[in-house]
């Protein structure tokens, strides 16, 4: 069984994620009433650079919101990032996440083609999914499920996926449940994620867990991966990956 993360493994959506984060405190209908290209161009360079830095640490939509803090430009380590993230009041963070989700939904509905075009597949991914069609391939992701299905359909890949578990913060449990539902032991699962925390958590179940080198990571992640002897996977390896 093959189980994949979405953002950073199947598709790159850096600008889309930055847009929904920046406009998380705006009225969704008003935001979606403007061309996506205009929305993207209007984001301050300082915010985009902060988001570029934060994106390497983030696992969830909640984590993206750290980029809205001016202090994020000073992040140099995982500890810096976590301290700043924990300083954001829970109520404020929850409101921003709801807002970002609503902005994403409005853009997806009102500017469908433009929004879909912001999601670029990584080389080799489409072939990997087509080659594993019919083998129970699933996606476990922090992104919402409707968005994932829409993007897959846009790339004519929806038939390659059996199930999408969206808005997932506990990938270890999700992978275990998928395997159990199919009557498989964890050892029969191959899991790919670009965030080292997820890769290590799933590896501890007994699954073959591969850290996607083409995704987003930091020097702290690399050091952690080396210390834990976490296996990496590189894009060229997808051509011969079987699960």
| H or E stretch covering 138 | strand 138-140
What are the boundaries of each domain within the chain?
2-11+120-240, 13-116
Length of the chain counted residue by residue: 243
Superfamily of domain 2-11+120-240: HAD superfamily/HAD-like (3.40.50.1000)
Distance CA 178, CA 207 (A): 12
Q: Does residue 164 surpass a pLDDT of 90?
A: yes
Partnered with residue 12 across adjacent β-strands are: 120
Q: Does residue 83 surpass a pLDDT of 90?
A: yes
Kindly indicate the confidence band of residue 64, based on its pLDDT and cuts at 50, 70 and 90.
Answer: very high
Cβ proximity of 139 and 4 under 8 Å: yes
Q: pLDDT tens, 105-115?
A: 999 999 999 99
Helix axes 45-55, 14-22, angle to 10 degrees: 120
């Amino acid at each position: 069984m093959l189980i994949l993360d979405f953002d950073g493994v199947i598709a790159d959506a850096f600008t889309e994620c930055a847009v929904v984060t920046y406009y998380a405190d705006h009225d969704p209908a008003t935001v979606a009433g403007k061309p996506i290209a205009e929305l993207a161009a209007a984001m301050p360079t300082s915010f985009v650079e902060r988001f570029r830095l934060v994106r390497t640490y983030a696992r969830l939509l909640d984590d993206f919101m750290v980029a809205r803090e001016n202090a994020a430009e000073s992040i140099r380590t995982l500890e810096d990032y976590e301290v700043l993230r924990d300083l954001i009041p829970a109520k404020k963070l929850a409101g921003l996440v709801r807002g970002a989700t609503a902005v994403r939904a409005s853009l997806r509905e009102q500017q469908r083609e433009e929004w879909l075009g912001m999601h670029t597949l990584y080389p080799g991914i489409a072939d990997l999914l087509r080659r594993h069609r019919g083998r129970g391939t699933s996606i476990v992701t922090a992104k919402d499920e409707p968005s994932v299905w829409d993007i897959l359909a846009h790339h004519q890949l929806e038939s390659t996926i059996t199930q999408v578990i969206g808005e997932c913060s506990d990938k270890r449990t999700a992978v275990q449940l998928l395997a159990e539902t199919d009557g498989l032991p964890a050892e029969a699962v191959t899991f790919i994620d670009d965030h080292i925390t997820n890769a290590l958590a799933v590896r501890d179940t007994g699954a073959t867990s591969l850290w996607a080198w083409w995704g987003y990571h930091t020097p702290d992640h690399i050091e952690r991966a080396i210390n834990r002897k976490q296996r990496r996977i590189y894009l060229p390896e997808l051509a011969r990956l079987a699960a």
